[in-house]
Amino acid sequence: MDDQYLKVVMGIIMNAGNAKGLAHEALEAAKLNDFEKANQLMIESNQSLTEAHNVQSDMLTKEAQGDHTEMNLYMVHAQDHLMTAITYQDLVKELIVLYKKDAK
């Protein structure tokens, strides 16, 4: 495995992990009715998720151009992190809406 491949895998894992962690912090802030903080944390979560997605998109673009990406357990793990972060972020958004309704 070369350094560039590892950079792609770690870029996805780290940014997706950060996105999920920030979304969780936002959920905790919403539980305390601190919706301003929750909103800021979700903005940061989105930025991290965008970074992870950009790494993935670059990889997909290269694949479409004929530069094949090796598939192994590292890449599967990275993709799992990304999809989990996306799903978790979607869930947290909905839960924040519910916490806001309950706070009124």
Residues noted as catalytic: 77
Contact 85, 49 (CB under 8 A): yes
Query: Which residues touch 23 (CB under 8 Å, ≥6 apart)?
Result: 41, 42, 45, 85, 88, 89, 92
DSSP structure class, residue 2: -
Query: Which residues have CB under 8 Å from 52's CB, separation 6+?
Result: 11, 12, 14, 15, 16, 19, 81, 82, 85
